Structure 1
Amino acid sequence: MTSANDQGKNQTPKPARDATDYPEMHPARRKPEDSGPVQTLVFLHGGNVGNWSWDPQVLAFSDFNILTLHLPSFGARFEEKWEGLDSAADDVAALIADEVSEGGVHLVGMSLGGVIALHVAARHPELVDSVFVTGVSVAPPGTAAKAVQRMQLKLIGSEWYWKFQAGAYGMVDNERELFAEHGVKLKPENMRAVMGDLDTGGLPADLSAYSGPVLLLAGASEPKFVQRSFPAIGEALPQAAIRVVPGMHHQWNIENPLLFNSVLRRWITGQQLHQVLREPVEPKLRGASFKRTSTLEEIDPQDAEDTAADAVPETVAEAGKPGAEAKAKGFAERLDPRKLDPRKLDLKHALSKKPPVAKRPTDSDGPAAD
């Protein structure tokens, strides 16, 4: 941070958060309400954002010790080479062992961070008291999804691309700037390596070694292929509670931090399920069965009515058919339905940056050229 003495009159103050310099350690600022020992929350960010994305949670969980770790190849570590999911999990475990003197931690993972959280639980179960993951995809992507990924790799260095994606994630102005600032620093070779690891599925083989509580979530409005991972994770972790969050998209800890924080607090303080959560509609999976698992207490009764609109579409299943490459563009547009939502995308601001359009000639300008 620049000191007040160093700032000139015409300098713009730096934002409170920084895309690559957000702190990893956040000691508890108040005692828990139950007067028990201070517990530790470990937040693992997604593959398109940095650890700054957990700022709404850091502010809300002041009665916990918090670690918002920079994952390898992201944030302050964007120069580091990606060495694989197992290596990233061991890296996280080493930091936990160094910083947490007693007791396990509550692991909270979003997207790629959720996949890494599962690897930490599988490889170092003694460090983990509970797991809370959302937006996790461990099912191998189809042909169309891979085509979209290759297209995204070509756009990583473009600031406009990240600001456009930020609108789809429901981020406000400050988050958009941080998101774009972080995104353009990501190295294509690292992102390609991450995608390569996830192409094989990303599910740790020894996940059943972890026997603690697990809450597995997906936003109801995020790409439906995320829910296709529910059966595989549920089979490896039969104790997991699996739920869908109505109306939420992928980065819902930023989109609706009040809801996210409420869901998370009820989980980590007693493995209770928030009343807003819904059981997923059973997906139409080829050769797979879906297990609804939850022997945990639900605070309020769940609404048993599921609509057909929540059913998992067959877009990904059809990706292997001929012509899938030609459909990739259309598939990309459907990845997030809010990409064309003017309430979330600041189209006026984006258009204001385009070159001015020549005005139509008028009578006062003289006759138009033939």
Structure 2
Amino acid sequence: MALYYKESGDRESQRVIVFLHGGGVGGWMWDGVTDYFQDSYCLIPDLPGHGRSAGEPFVSISDTAAYLNRWIMDLAKGRELVVAGFSLGAQILVEMLGQEPELMDYAIINSALTSPLPGARVFTRPLIGLTFPLVRNRSFSRLQARTLYISDADFEKYYEECCRMEKETLLSILEENMSFQVPSGFKKATANLLVTVGEKEKSVMRRSVQQLMNLQERAAGIMFPGVGHGVPLADPALFHRVVQRWLADGTIANEVIRVQT
């Protein structure tokens, strides 16, 4: 596997931040956030089957996590390591922590579904078979883009990537996403963890935050008020302020809601 990735910020910084995007988008979803982290060395890969890594098949969350752990080890070179993941990228991050519990210093897990949906692998394939043509429908894509807070400026990029995505890639991603379970090694992770969800997300997403917090005593949970699935796109400045403060001294900004276990 060889994934495309973009770099930004200070290459000499002692802090490396890796940003993992969600399913159906690309590393570009983090552009508004990484603009605020110019004092860190930021690495933003396109995941398998997405963007400029579309030629690399998406096999599984576990396979992608194993590759990214090896890749990060080579690039971080002993520096402080922070990884932020959103949605599919957050599930991959949870799996990375399970596979290599001592690799990271900080992890920001945004909107990770950790409760498998009943019958996901049984019903996903026939459902996608019926609905896949909608993926390339411009009006449908416009509706999807709004739910993810994708701006008008980024819509053409999003639509182009939707049109390029292969049916088998989409199937693999959705099957993995909806049947994902937290690996046993996650409990052993030594990183400081910030687990986030949007206030307007589905209840299963809020339950996922609670599950991760119950499994990991090092995890702090927060809810972004008034936001659904996609706070890094909806309000990158808020996302940066909250994360930057937490990285600096471990405290939670007053702008968000603390989740209690």
Q: TM-score w.r.t. structure 1 length?
A: 0.64
Q: Displacement of 1:104 after TM fit?
A: 3.8
Distance 2:140 2:175 in 1: 22
Q: TM-score w.r.t. structure 2 length?
A: 0.89
Q: Secondary structure at 1:47's aligned position in 2?
A: coil
- Counterpart residue number, 2:240: 261
Relative to its length, the structure with more helix (as a share) is: 2
Query: What's the Cα RMSD here?
Result: 2.5
- Counterpart residue number, 1:8: none
Q: Which residue identity does 1:137 align to in structure 2?
A: L
Q: Displacement of 1:270 after TM fit?
A: 2.3
Q: Sort the Cα spacing of 1:225 and 1:65 in 2 relative to 1 into closer, same or farther, 3 A.
A: same
2:105 to 124, 129, 147: 129
1:28 aligns with 2:28: no
Counterpart contact for 1:159–1:184, Cα < 8 Å: no
Q: Sort the Cα spacing of 1:174 and 1:240 in 2 relative to 1 into closer, same or farther, 3 A.
A: same
Q: Sort the Cα spacing of 1:255 and 1:22 in 2 relative to 1 into closer, same or farther, 3 A.
A: farther
Distance 2:5 2:62 in 1: 24
- Counterpart residue number, 1:216: 195
Q: Displacement of 1:165 after TM fit?
A: 1.1
Q: Which residue identity does 1:226 align to in structure 2?
A: M
Question: Gaps (5+ residues) in structure 1?
Answer: 1-20, 32-36, 281-291, 294-370
- Counterpart residue number, 2:78: 102
Q: Displacement of 1:142 after TM fit?
A: 4.5
Distance 1:164 1:186 in 2: 18
Q: Displacement of 1:152 after TM fit?
A: 5.0
- Counterpart residue number, 1:59: 35
Counterpart contact for 1:25–1:66, Cα < 8 Å: yes
1:38 to 14, 30, 33: 14
Q: Displacement of 1:154 after TM fit?
A: 4.2
- Counterpart residue number, 1:191: 170
Counterpart contact for 1:109–1:133, Cα < 8 Å: yes
- Counterpart residue number, 1:10: none
Q: Which residue identity does 2:144 align to in structure 1?
A: Q
Q: Displacement of 1:224 after TM fit?
A: 2.4
Counterpart contact for 2:224–2:257, Cα < 8 Å: yes
Question: Gaps (5+ residues) in structure 2?
Answer: none
- Counterpart residue number, 1:179: 158
1:245 to 204, 220, 224: 224
Note the alpha carbon deviations across 1:318-368, whole angstroms, 9 max, x for none: xxxxxxxxxxxxxxxxxxxxxxxxxxxxxxxxxxxxxxxxxxxxxxxxxxx
- Counterpart residue number, 1:207: 186
Q: Which residue identity does 2:167 align to in structure 1?
A: P
Counterpart contact for 2:4–2:45, Cα < 8 Å: no
Q: Secondary structure at 2:196's aligned position in 1?
A: strand
Relative to its length, the structure with more strand (as a share) is: 2
Question: How many percent of aligned residue pairs carry the same amino acid?
Answer: 23
Bigger Rg over Cα = 1
Note the alpha carbon deviations across 1:22-70, whole angstroms, 9 max, x for none: 85222417x8xxxxx5301100000121001110122111000001011
